[in-house]
Structure 1
């Protein structure tokens, strides 16, 4: 194993052009940790927010970007089973994924479902942890219920809609443009073009006037009231991010009349123990649903580490359908 590695950092906040590939020492795993030779790293919205300065980097996280990877365990910490060396895993990280080697907590690593590629696996951890915690735990989605997923063409959206369908829910998604909507409807959901449709009216039409039981929201801001208007009594509104604003004017009378529940959560600030507990639920509840002819990640692009600036530009353009993954292997350009 080499002593140095390529890694992606941003010396200053700004646009994609501030991202730089630098040489860094290969880190060593501490107690409870594993060192992964990274094959692929997922590109996520929180990476963009960290780059722009909108989402401060946690003080205990490395300055290297990347919150999820897949690859091979090449070293273990002093209290981690050494027989894991050589095992292929996917893992949720505090940071450090855009690199040839990355440190993960052993308790935040997951086995790779049968016959999924390492690039497919790299697209999964952030989504699996987020979706279990928000859609199934906090959102309490159950078979037969209806869910509205904003941003259905995103990496999180394409994974969430498949997992909801696998749980026998009726799924409605939003996307921008007829091409994206057609792709998503081919996956078995109702797709609404947010650019042209009246969202509450269309949702109420599709649900025969009842509304949806759960909303998975990435927009926030003034769109929240539109969501409340198309929710069923007792519905649960879960905020994942706030792309249109962090301040949401709320019609409290709608909240009261329908008995609605609003919540929001994010993974990165959670304790290691909380993430480990979510990981155990993911292993038992979601991983059995993944694999050939089942739920599998939708890959928009696999791009070399050297193209990280282009990867961020693609994500910010919202032209992607599915997840963008960086090829971080040592032989990648």
Structure 2
């Protein structure tokens, strides 16, 4: 099969086509003939040497794909050869064939094609677990009627978080870096959009909520926003960290809001979770979110699609942050 190698790591230019044997599915895995692949920030981190695959996972980059089942392991019970699935992989999706635990695979939502199905797993698993999961599972436990602030509102995660939060009855504030992107965030359903380059988002949150602040903040920026995020949260608020694009170490932070307002600070990454934990998220998505997608609600937004051999261009676009929604690859 053809796949993309990142060699010793580095900039986007290290991503190059290569050839090698297709993977063999383990007993609990399905082998997928890949039709489409999603590009995600963790892929960039892995290429840079900052996000290594877990033990036993493929060293090939790629955390989500969609296609047809080409083979099943001996312990698989749900899917059969020829079934159309999308899957959260543990690695290896930048290829013509990839394996995933059967429990991390889902059928395409009704009416979906491969491209839209491949845009779902990494982003929707991440948003569901971190925005709606309980604090015990490192989630924000967002409830109907609550208010959430979503940073990076036009990223793949941001677009998904805005739409799902609205679909489940929350009020949504979102940040973005340009007026055009703020307009996009509003188009996807945000009640308020804040240009973080031109406005103080803490002041804007206070103004736009009438001083009530937020119940949940979903943050991918990290250290530069940490103290300001705490100031955006009301009593019993929850700050959920999912990435550190702006830095990992926060210094000279006033921790008093955590105690005074009983705040919860939590966070997680998806990849180290066990198959059983990911399977629980998959079941929740199929029960709660897949019916919405079949009705045309909370759909993924695809910004650009590249042939697999041009993965370097896809990564360069990802790092530019010029995109809105998902970047995709097709073998």
TM-score by length of 2: 0.95
Separation in structure 2 between the aligned mates of residue 26 and residue 58 of structure 1, nearest angstrom: 19
Tell me which of 60, 70, 75 is aligned to 2:66.
70
Large movers: runs of 4+ above 6 Å: none
State the number of aligned residues. Answer: 324
1:62-112 alpha-carbon deviations (Å, 9 max, x no partner):
111100001110111112248611110110001000001100111100111
**Deviation at residue 117 of structure 1 after TM alignment:** 1.8
Matched with 2:209 is: 207
Residue pair 2:151, 2:218 contacting (<8 A) in 1 also: yes
Q: Distance in 2 between matches of 1:53 and 1:293?
A: 38
Deviations 1:281-302 (A, max 9, x none): 2221222221343111010111
The match for 1:145 is 146
Q: Corresponding residue for 1:331?
A: none
CA contact (8 A) 2:38 2:62 kept: yes
The verdict on how the C-alpha distance between 1:122 and 1:81 changes in structure 2, with shifts beyond 3 A counting, is same
More off after superposition, 29-38 vs 56-65: 56-65
CA contact (8 A) 2:68 2:84 kept: yes
Q: Superposition RMSD on alpha carbons, in Å?
A: 1.2
Q: Does 1:281 align with 2:284?
A: yes
Is it true that 1:218 corresponds to 2:223 in the alignment? Answer: no
Measure, in 1, the Cα distance between the counterparts of 2:303 and 2:78: 35
Distance verdict in 2 for CA 1:83–1:272, change over 3 Å: closer
List runs of 5+ in structure 2 lacking aligned partners. 134-138
TM-score (norm 1): 0.95
| Equivalent pair of 1:41/1:70 in contact (CA under 8 Å) | yes
Within 2, Cα distance between the matches of 1:83 and 1:274?
Answer: 20
Uncovered stretches (5+) of structure 1, i.e. residues with no partner:
329-333
Decide whether aligned partners of structure 1 residues 273 and 20 sit closer, same or farther in structure 2, where only a CA change above 3 A counts: same
Which residue is 1:181 aligned to? 182
Contact kept? 1:210, 1:232, Cα under 8 Å:
yes
In structure 2, distance between residues paired with 1:179 and 1:203? 20
